[in-house]
Amino acid sequence: MQEKMRLLKDETSSYMPVATDFSDDGMPTYDDVPTSSLLALVEAPVFQSFVGAVILANAIVIGLETDQIADYEWLFPMLEDAFLFLFAVELFMRLCAYGILGFFSASGSDCGWNAFDFTLVFLGVLDRGLSALNRLQQGPQLYIVLMRVFRLLRILRIFRIFRVMRQLHILASSLFDAVQSVFWVSVICVLILYICAIVLTRLVGHPVDGDPLALVKQEYFGSLGSSMLTLFELMAFPNMDRFQPVYASNPSLKTFLVIFVIFGAFMMASILTGVITEGMVEKSRMRQEDRRFERETARAVFIRMSRKVLQDHSGTHSSYIDKQQFEKCKDKVLALSEADSTPLREKDLDAIFDLVDYDDSGIVEIEELLYGMVQISAELRPMSILELRRSFARGLNAVSQQVSMLDSRLQMMDARLQEALAKPKMDANL
């Protein structure tokens, strides 16, 4: 029991690092996380999907407005005002839910996106104000320039779709993280082009007098710049047919170009693909870790709320609960499991109660019951297998010790019985 209590409370547990109501080192727990209805609303998938739909609709309207459809010019300002109003309301709701300090906190993972959203909405409101001011009175030329700039910046709203759609966010983040690696690959490409261009310019770009292909050689390889451009085109589009007159009578040049195409074009393309793919795989791994953390967070909330429900129904003995009391609160526990995305069924709860009721008394400890819920809802991990092996080894060791003690006592009893049987024989001989 002490081991299971430790697993339910210890922060170092493999599957419950967040399923705790308190912390020994003073770190904040999930009881400190705000659970207001407004915060739950702005983080709800339905709300995020609605915001994503509004962003997509705004992107479509911006595209239609760019084509300047004369029949619907009166409609675009009204739609722009509607989109701006929706974005402003969404920003105001998130500001109220997280607070100003929490919204712009540098330690938050969405700090950059929050600042980006706030800037776009602020510029949109400013553009709307300048437009109203310009209609009331003929403003200076600066107003007109600012209005054009602000309206052009509305295109940046389309980038907000990367935040709402996680898959696009993963791809965009992977590409952004791969920029540094792509830069160094590009440096290698430039060095290869530079070296090969020097070789070709010196060997091919300066033909001898009377060479019938002098003009062609000078066009493609006459200078260092033209040689680098020719090689870059060959790297991007490996088509050697146009260079056939040049290398037809020069097998060494043909071999050089073939080797360049293999290592300069195919290999570099493979390296770039590998770099970008590695970044995407890393982002996908990080996303899986975030999802695991979200599941454990939901499991922590479920355990905390289930503990409260079980203690409220256990009567005076808040540490124990019987079968009848558990049947009364089982529906509430199932409702909590559905709310916190914890996969539990009614027959699972009944099976857990029966499993932790070791002596068939109909009474179990609440922490034992919670431990069983954790084990059922937690995913199978290597640490869980090690904990099971450790518990089994401890139990087997305890049984071995009891068997050894019982064996020693039986030997002692056998020895005393032998003494007791031998004593009457000795008395009879005397």
CATH number at residue 192: 1.10.287.70
Total domains in the fold of the chain = 3
Residue 6 lies in a domain: no
Residue 86 lies in a domain: yes
On whether both 262 and 281 belong to a single domain, the answer is yes
On whether both 54 and 146 belong to a single domain, the answer is yes
**pLDDT given at position 342:** 65
Residue 399 lies in a domain: no
On whether both 229 and 264 belong to a single domain, the answer is yes
**pLDDT given at position 387:** 67
Of 345, 363, 383, which closes a domain? Answer: 383
Angstrom CA distances, 410 to 47, 100, 170, 418, stand at: 72, 75, 69, 12
On whether both 121 and 193 belong to a single domain, the answer is no
**pLDDT given at position 364:** 84
Dist. CA 410–CA 420, nearest whole Å: 15
Residue 8 lies in a domain: no
| Percent of residues in the chain assigned helix, strand, coil, to nearest 5 | 75, 0, 20
Burial label, 161 (beta-carbon count in 10 A; 0-12, 13-18, 19+): middle
Residue 418 lies in a domain: no
Two structure tokens written together for 129: 């104000």
On whether both 313 and 231 belong to a single domain, the answer is no
Of 247, 263, 287, which closes a domain? Answer: 287
On whether both 239 and 327 belong to a single domain, the answer is no
For 328, the domain range is 290-383
Of 257, 287, 317, which closes a domain? Answer: 287
On whether both 130 and 43 belong to a single domain, the answer is yes
Give the sign of the dihedral formed by CA 17, CA 18, CA 19, CA 25: positive
Query: Cβ neighbours of residue 135 under 8 Å, at least 6 residues apart?
Result: none
Residue 4 lies in a domain: no
On whether both 151 and 257 belong to a single domain, the answer is no
pLDDT in tens, the chain (430 residues): 444 444 444 433 333 333 333 333 433 333 333 445 788 888 787 888 888 888 888 888 888 877 766 667 778 888 888 888 888 888 888 888 888 888 887 776 677 778 888 888 888 888 777 777 666 555 555 556 666 676 677 777 777 777 777 677 767 777 777 777 788 888 888 898 899 899 888 888 888 777 787 888 888 888 888 889 988 888 888 878 877 888 887 888 888 888 888 887 788 888 888 877 877 777 778 777 877 787 778 778 888 888 888 888 877 667 888 888 888 888 888 888 777 666 677 888 888 888 787 777 888 888 878 877 777 766 556 666 676 677 778 788 888 888 888 988 888 888 888 887 777 766 666 6
**pLDDT given at position 135:** 61
Instruction: Determine phi and psi for 262, rounding to 5 degrees.
Output: -65, -50
Residue 212 lies in a domain: yes
On whether both 117 and 73 belong to a single domain, the answer is yes
On whether both 202 and 320 belong to a single domain, the answer is no
On whether both 142 and 72 belong to a single domain, the answer is yes
CATH of the domain at 327: 1.10.238
On whether both 150 and 243 belong to a single domain, the answer is no
Residue 334 lies in a domain: yes
